[in-house]
Structure 1
Amino acid sequence: MAVKITDRIGRRLGFRLVGLGLILIGCFVRIVDPYPVQMSRLIYFDILQRISPRIFDPDLPVRVVDIDEKSLTAWGQWPWPRTQLGQMVERLGDYGAAAIAFDVLFAEPDRYSPIRLLQDPSLSGILQVDRSAINLDNDVKFAAEIVKWPVVLGVAARGSESASDIVPKAGLVEIGENPAAGLVGVSHWTSLAPPLGESAAGVGGVNVSPLGGLGVVRRVPVLWSGPGGVMPGLGVEALRVAIGEPVYFAEGSQDELGIMLEVGVGDFLLPTTENGEIWVRYRRDNPGLYLSADDVMRDADDPALRAEIEGRIILVGTSAAGLFDMRETALGESVPGVSIHAQIIEQIILGDMLSRSDVTAALELLAFVILGVVVTVVMSSFGAVASFIAGGMAAAVVMAISWLAFQNQSVLFDATFPLAGGMANFGLLAGYLFVSTEREKRVIRQTFSHYVAPEILDEMEANGHQLRLGGETQEITVMFSDIRGFTPLSESVSATDLVELLNELFSEIGDQILIERGTIDKFIGDAVMAFWNAPLPLENHPCRAAMAALKMRKALDVFNASHLMQGRSPIALATGVATGAACVGNIGSRRRFNYTVIGDVVNVAARIEQNCRHVDYDVLVSHTVQQVTRSDLALLEAGYVDLKGKREPEPVYVLVGDTDLAGSADFQALQAAHLSLLAAIREQASQAVVAERCDECARLAVAVEPGLTPFYRALPGRAADFRAEIHTGGPLFSHHNGQRKAAE
């Protein structure tokens, strides 16, 4: 007993060590953080936002002036002349905009400037202008207009060296160990056509993701590290200009270099990632955010438009399809890039900022470890089912913590890794438990196989090792199938080839029995015995057995066409099926027994199979089978036959086909002709009439089942099998026997 306890403790300890190893591997994977782990985390955060997106507040001081299709139709293709944009700035300024930020680029001088047009060699000899207009420059006029108002111009990151260095307009105060050193870097910014850069109140980066970044926009850099200094993003720069702040505050780690914690602008604090990005808390795109540029450009003073612009931060951008500024959000929407800048300003003003710190990541790892420990300890002590329940409860707690943290604190807590890691641990540990258990079962099975038959072991496993002699009486369907002409076949091949042939054949036909959920009782030389409705109840089991016989017929055709039968005569089967009561159970001695069936129905099925030669057809079924399946199968009456051990002949039926065949027009015609033939026989019509109707049936059978042709050819010699008086034991009974013996 002490040895058993020691073994049990040793196995449990080994199991827990395996669980601990899996937990350590999971921790290593989370620290390395490969791409699949990152993507699952990001997708989970998207799902959180889709479940509970931010609500649009029309009272927030942010609007987008949209250069939409309507505006392009009214004012011409993009880019518009800078004089026209100056008019837009003037209109927005007059309407009282707190800040005007352009999410468009002014990298090159205006091509519509008179000075530029006159410098074009193809136009210099054509255009004639007043000398006073020669030096007119639209960029100068645009700069003269924007200097009057709080205008922010946009620049974009680019990789080429053809751009000029852009100097930020705002100062930066760093707190900590140089937090700006870890910002997302930009090699070069697009230039601003002179003198626009000097006239603007602010300059901001229009990119919503690092250079080359594609796909869903989840994080947007607030500050960029550029060649001319730290450049703010367009949205936060527009906010700074609107509130009149000259500097940003960047707070970083006091112990590590280049770690950004948060950015301050005025009274607003923005928690950031260590490289200066913020998580965007999205809302559904709303038409209330947008004002058409066409409406702004109209000369008439519109009080409703003034109410939308006055005191608000105005972002100028485009949603026109041809200008390619559409980006995908975490909510699965495609929105103009300027809308993302607007949403950043909204969430800064609301203070609804998503955050995710190293502490959160550490708590996620701790949640994974706790889940792994719960799964390991419970499974090692109480098994897989208890572990699944306990792990499921722990996973539900993790999910609840993640949701509450997002909903109430705007904290992004990743539940995917603890859950996925916990499930992976559960699956691997369950697999380990299964393998170790199966190994023990194999050892026991190998030991017992020296003493009992394999089928007994199967039932021992199924019934908890509680076996006893005896059985129970129930209705079953029995099938016997025998190879015709086996003796000539065995004489024509070697014993080795014969065994290979039989194994292949029994595999083919045995599969059909199993497909129809039959139980193969035994192989008896060149025959197979199977039964249905035991050990498990089976609905419509006579039909199942009949369908198995039909499938065996098709499988035999395939087998006869295989390479094993090349150069050999085709194999034929004779199959008998009967339904009746039998005793099903373990039958034998107390030391060795078999699971089998005993009863009259077994003998009936075996004798019906033997009469296939007499009837000259391959599949015969008993009257009990026909009574149950006549509406589902194509059956034809085959008369009464003698069964060895039976006092009176038994009615049998040939199985022609399945339900589809039974409903076909060809079979219906054959069935009508068959009934006419039987009527002629029972009315004792002349031999000529019987022969004529047999020929008619044989002709119709070609289109239904060619195997019926021998059946109808032999039928005139079996006319006595169909006489109505046979089953009564009357005078024709002995006449029938004598007639059949004479025929034989």
Structure 2
Amino acid sequence: MLRRLFSKHGTRWTLGLVLTVLACAQTLGMFPATLTDRIDLFFYDMRIRVQPAAPDPRIVIVDIDDKSIAEVGRWPWSRNVIADFVTKLADHYHARTIAFDVLFSEADTSSGYGVLEGLAKGELKEFAAFGERLKTLKASLDYDGRLAAALHERPVVLSYFLSNRAHKGLLPAPAFTASELNGNALDVLPWKGYEGALPALQRTAKAGGYMNTEIDPDGLLRSIPLVAQIDNSYYESLALATARVALGATAIRPVFLSDDVRSDQAQREYGVLESLRLNTLPRQTVIPVEREIKALIQYRGRGGPDGGTFRYIAAADVLKGRVPLQDLENKIVLVGTTAAGLKDLRATPVNSEYPGVEAHANMVASILDGDFKQRPDFAAAIDLLQVIALGVTLTVALSLLTPVWSILFSLTMAAAIGAFNFWMYQAHDMVLPVANALLLIAGLFVVNIAWGYLFEHRKGRAMVNLFGEYVAPELVAEMAANPNSYSMEGESRELTVLFADVRGFTTISEGLDPNTLREYINIYLTAMSENIRGNRGTLDKYIGDAVMAFWGAPVTLPDHAARAVATALQMQATAASLNRDFLARGWPALRIGIGLNTGEMRVGDMGSKIRRAYTVMGDAVNLSSRLEGITKVYGVGITVGEGTMRAAPDFAYRELDRVKVKGKNEPVPIFEPIALKTQLDAGVRDNLEKWHEALALIRAQRWDEAESRVRALHDSAPDDGLYLLYLERIAHYREHPPGTDWDGVTTFETK
């Protein structure tokens, strides 16, 4: 069975295997993954977009917006204003944490203190009172100093920017150093430089974090690296630093995969970073990370003041004390900008103009909740397994299914993969690849459809071309729809075969000129062929004026014998109609004899290397040919064998004789079909009964009784040659008795 299936579907299976292997290679990273990456990102973005906005009252964004610029003045504001701003948030509103998504890397000279100090040392040097007074004003005019004092002992996180240029400003203390990794190496992109806050400001701030984010190749912001490397030290992002300060943690520890996750022994660690852990109480805060210590941003809305996730408060309202205390009390405050000309906007999956400060706010919320979507290290293994399973299943299934079922099965598989992927995303927070699996499903489906169209269609057309001359159009259409069920290979089947011949054709051909003879025979053969094909018969060949046909192949017909008998009766009726037309034209009369037989015979493509044909062979075929030849002996138009009579019991038959034809040693009964039993009138039925009674008397050698019965039938139908034949036989047997061992069989020595 497997051998038959492979011979039938081997090419499809080979193509399916090739596609599956290519998909596996793609999964293992052996080919560029631009297309699959984009498809995976598309489905990831779709999931993010359909995620409903989830308001988070713990985090507030204080916005340096157009209103605040108009009220306070152009940006950057002087550091004494920022100092008042910090003091107001920390002391009046009791903010839990204050994080600035703005950079304080340049000294503030807006107070004019530097100019005054230059005058005190230059042109006004002689005025000692001026110098002394200036010293008393220094504290109030040193705006950077005022801001540094405001930052002292307050939960403020400053920001800085990583770059590969020269160092500027001051970095905060590192989260950890290479010496704390116990020899393990972190998969993180190193940086060479930075632009940090003024040293005086960073020294007094609670913490600092870099503002850098990670832009994907398509230009969208989907993740943030939580840790970056400069030299041998590792620094935290703005979101991580903000969350750590808000949670009261003082240290960050990298945790590596080990054979025992409960063990902290360095020698048992394998060097693959599993997570970052904050030393919070009562239990540590675990932050799972991906490669390059990234974390996916869980966007909880479309962003901005109307995004529905974080509340936006104008910075001017904070400075003026117009914000209700409860709106900021114990909140995590991120200070950012949306004013025209200052907008820190990023393209994201949910919005092409998304405030950068809100991207950090979403990451802070994920750290607080422990809510992260991850692309696990074993995602490629899952992808490989589902590709292999899909490849094998679809390769076999699609080759066996019809086009409609192939479409439904492919869609079902795609839906199953999508459902599994979404379930892993929702229930287990895993972002798994799906592109390879979907592309494989599409590829296998297209290959099978293309195969069906390009090859099966050609095979169907070949079937049409092959059998179109032999069988009826409706049979050809049926075969073309399912060409694999039919072939030219030889096989044994029970079929019914027909031979039809024109009586006295030699005399007819001698009496007509060639052109008229051609028209005569063409009209006859066309009419006979239409009768055969109209009853789903297979036209085998023309043998001069003779026609050969059979029923039951290549399309299986359970009622092949009945169709053949009905065709023979129709052909005789058609011949009678043609005869009237021919006589009207002055042509010779047309009479035909038909022989039918049913039995096992060999059917298929037979012949020589030079010429072959789809035909039948065997004893049953030869007997049919002999039966056609002896129709003229019995004066009937149709003769059928016993096999046909038994296989088509709905017809009424007249038994003609028991004969031994040339080449056969066993006698066979032969019959003449009359009509369907339901169409017999009472007179015909009565004559049939009388004839069979007379035939029984003949075989019993009761000549007188037999002659009386046959003569009465002959008188009622003087043109019936069968009755005249048997009257002659009775007379012969009277003079030459056949003997007591006579079996009633007539032997024919010629064809």
The normalised TM-score by structure 2 is 0.55
Name the SS of the counterpart of 2:408 in structure 1. Answer: helix
**Contact 2:67-2:316 within 8 A present in 1 as well:** yes
In structure 2, C-alpha distance between the alignment counterparts of 1:53 and 1:258, rounded to whole Å:
38
Which residue, 224, 227, 236 being the options, matches 1:223? 227
Offset of residue 24 of structure 1: 0.8
In structure 2, C-alpha distance between the alignment counterparts of 1:286 and 1:178, rounded to whole Å:
45
Is 1:286 the counterpart of 2:308? The answer is yes
Which residue, 394, 404, 408 being the options, matches 1:385? 404
Per-residue CA deviations over 1:682-735 (Å, capped at 9, x if unaligned) read xxxxxxxxxxxxxxxxxxxxxxxxxxxxxxxxxxxxxxxxxxxxxxxxxxxxxx
Tell me which residue corresponds to 1:83.
80
Tell me which residue corresponds to 1:613.
none
**Contact 2:169-2:198 within 8 A present in 1 as well:** no
Is 1:131 the counterpart of 2:134? The answer is yes
Per-residue CA deviations over 1:367-424 (Å, capped at 9, x if unaligned) read 2222222211112233443333223222222222222222233222333331232111
In structure 1, C-alpha distance between the alignment counterparts of 2:181 and 2:408, rounded to whole Å:
48
In structure 1, C-alpha distance between the alignment counterparts of 2:181 and 2:174, rounded to whole Å:
23
Note the 1:524-539 alignment, pairs <5 A. Answer: none
Which residue, 240, 244, 247 being the options, matches 1:240? 244
Higher mean C-alpha deviation, range 231-240 or range 105-114: 105-114
Q: Pick closer, same or farther for the CA change 1:111–1:295 going to 2, 3 Å.
A: same
Which residue, 248, 257, 260 being the options, matches 2:273? 260
Q: Pick closer, same or farther for the CA change 1:149–1:458 going to 2, 3 Å.
A: farther
Q: Pick closer, same or farther for the CA change 1:457–1:180 going to 2, 3 Å.
A: farther
Which residue, 437, 454, 462 being the options, matches 1:418? 437
**Contact 1:167-1:229 within 8 A present in 2 as well:** no
The one-letter amino acid paired with 1:367 is: Q
Name the SS of the counterpart of 1:182 in structure 2. Answer: coil
Name the SS of the counterpart of 1:263 in structure 2. Answer: strand
Tell me which residue corresponds to 1:109.
107
In structure 2, C-alpha distance between the alignment counterparts of 1:371 and 1:175, rounded to whole Å:
45
**Contact 2:166-2:194 within 8 A present in 1 as well:** no
Offset of residue 457 of structure 1: 10
Offset of residue 165 of structure 1: 6.5
In structure 2, C-alpha distance between the alignment counterparts of 1:172 and 1:54, rounded to whole Å:
38
Q: Pick closer, same or farther for the CA change 1:309–1:6 going to 2, 3 Å.
A: closer
In structure 1, C-alpha distance between the alignment counterparts of 2:182 and 2:7, rounded to whole Å:
52
Q: Pick closer, same or farther for the CA change 1:157–1:52 going to 2, 3 Å.
A: same
Tell me which residue corresponds to 1:97.
95
Tell me which residue corresponds to 1:41.
40
In structure 1, C-alpha distance between the alignment counterparts of 2:381 and 2:182, rounded to whole Å:
23
**Contact 1:459-1:465 within 8 A present in 2 as well:** no
Offset of residue 253 of structure 1: 3.7
The one-letter amino acid paired with 2:74 is: Q
Count of paired positions? 459
Q: Pick closer, same or farther for the CA change 1:417–1:321 going to 2, 3 Å.
A: farther
The one-letter amino acid paired with 1:189 is: Y
**Contact 2:172-2:203 within 8 A present in 1 as well:** no
Offset of residue 256 of structure 1: 9.1
Per-residue CA deviations over 1:601-656 (Å, capped at 9, x if unaligned) read xxxxxxxxxxxxxxxxxxxxxxxxxxxxxxxxxxxxxxxxxxxxxxxxxxxxxxxx
Tell me which residue corresponds to 2:163.
158
Name the SS of the counterpart of 2:404 in structure 1. Answer: helix
Offset of residue 443 of structure 1: 4.4
Note the 1:645-684 alignment, pairs <5 A. Answer: none
In structure 2, C-alpha distance between the alignment counterparts of 1:83 and 1:66, rounded to whole Å:
18
In structure 1, C-alpha distance between the alignment counterparts of 2:14 and 2:118, rounded to whole Å:
80
Tell me which residue corresponds to 1:295.
317
Name the SS of the counterpart of 1:104 in structure 2. Answer: coil
Name the SS of the counterpart of 1:161 in structure 2. Answer: coil
Is 1:68 the counterpart of 2:65? The answer is yes
Offset of residue 84 of structure 1: 0.8
Which residue, 434, 441, 446 being the options, matches 1:427? 446
**Contact 2:238-2:360 within 8 A present in 1 as well:** yes
In structure 1, C-alpha distance between the alignment counterparts of 2:95 and 2:23, rounded to whole Å:
54
Q: Pick closer, same or farther for the CA change 1:295–1:164 going to 2, 3 Å.
A: closer
Tell me which residue corresponds to 1:199.
204
Per-residue CA deviations over 1:138-191 (Å, capped at 9, x if unaligned) read 222211211131211100122322535624354469997766621233332113
Tell me which residue corresponds to 2:294.
277
The one-letter amino acid paired with 2:163 is: R
In structure 2, C-alpha distance between the alignment counterparts of 1:256 and 1:459, rounded to whole Å:
75
In structure 1, C-alpha distance between the alignment counterparts of 2:3 and 2:427, rounded to whole Å:
51
**Contact 2:177-2:232 within 8 A present in 1 as well:** no
The one-letter amino acid paired with 2:56 is: D
In structure 2, C-alpha distance between the alignment counterparts of 1:362 and 1:411, rounded to whole Å:
13
Per-residue CA deviations over 1:554-586 (Å, capped at 9, x if unaligned) read xxxxxxxxxxxxxxxxxxxxxxxxxxxxxxxxx
Structure index of larger Rg: 2
In structure 1, C-alpha distance between the alignment counterparts of 2:218 and 2:195, rounded to whole Å:
19
Note the 1:215-614 alignment, pairs <5 A. Answer: 215-227=219-231, 229-254=233-258, 259-265=272-278, 266=280, 267-284=284-301, 285-286=307-308, 288-298=310-320, 300=321, 305-332=324-351, 334-441=353-460, 443-444=462-463, 447=466, 462=477, 464=479
Unaligned ranges ≥5, structure 2: 125-129, 259-267, 302-306, 482-524, 534-751
Q: Pick closer, same or farther for the CA change 1:149–1:393 going to 2, 3 Å.
A: same
**Contact 2:394-2:441 within 8 A present in 1 as well:** yes
**Contact 2:177-2:233 within 8 A present in 1 as well:** no
Name the SS of the counterpart of 2:327 in structure 1. Answer: helix
Q: Pick closer, same or farther for the CA change 1:465–1:15 going to 2, 3 Å.
A: closer
In structure 2, C-alpha distance between the alignment counterparts of 1:207 and 1:29, rounded to whole Å:
31
The normalised TM-score by structure 1 is 0.56
Name the SS of the counterpart of 2:214 in structure 1. Answer: coil
Per-residue CA deviations over 1:168-215 (Å, capped at 9, x if unaligned) read 3544699977666212333321132231121111010112226x9773
Name the SS of the counterpart of 1:385 in structure 2. Answer: helix
Unaligned ranges ≥5, structure 1: 467-586, 596-744
Is 1:50 the counterpart of 2:53? The answer is no
The one-letter amino acid paired with 2:20 is: I
Offset of residue 43 of structure 1: 1.4
**Contact 1:391-1:422 within 8 A present in 2 as well:** yes
Offset of residue 30 of structure 1: 2.5
The one-letter amino acid paired with 2:290 is: T
Tell me which residue corresponds to 1:532.
none
Per-residue CA deviations over 1:531-575 (Å, capped at 9, x if unaligned) read xxxxxxxxxxxxxxxxxxxxxxxxxxxxxxxxxxxxxxxxxxxxx
Name the SS of the counterpart of 2:446 in structure 1. Answer: helix
Q: Pick closer, same or farther for the CA change 1:292–1:258 going to 2, 3 Å.
A: farther
Q: Pick closer, same or farther for the CA change 1:84–1:227 going to 2, 3 Å.
A: farther
In structure 1, C-alpha distance between the alignment counterparts of 2:175 and 2:181, rounded to whole Å:
19
Name the SS of the counterpart of 1:41 in structure 2. Answer: helix
The one-letter amino acid paired with 1:87 is: D
**Contact 2:345-2:354 within 8 A present in 1 as well:** yes
Offset of residue 19 of structure 1: 1.1
Tell me which residue corresponds to 2:660.
none
Q: Pick closer, same or farther for the CA change 1:213–1:160 going to 2, 3 Å.
A: farther
The one-letter amino acid paired with 1:249 is: R
**Contact 1:153-1:204 within 8 A present in 2 as well:** yes
The one-letter amino acid paired with 2:318 is: V
The one-letter amino acid paired with 1:232 is: E
In structure 1, C-alpha distance between the alignment counterparts of 2:53 and 2:428, rounded to whole Å:
13
In structure 2, C-alpha distance between the alignment counterparts of 1:165 and 1:194, rounded to whole Å:
5
Offset of residue 12 of structure 1: 2.2
Q: Pick closer, same or farther for the CA change 1:437–1:69 going to 2, 3 Å.
A: same
Tell me which residue corresponds to 1:616.
none
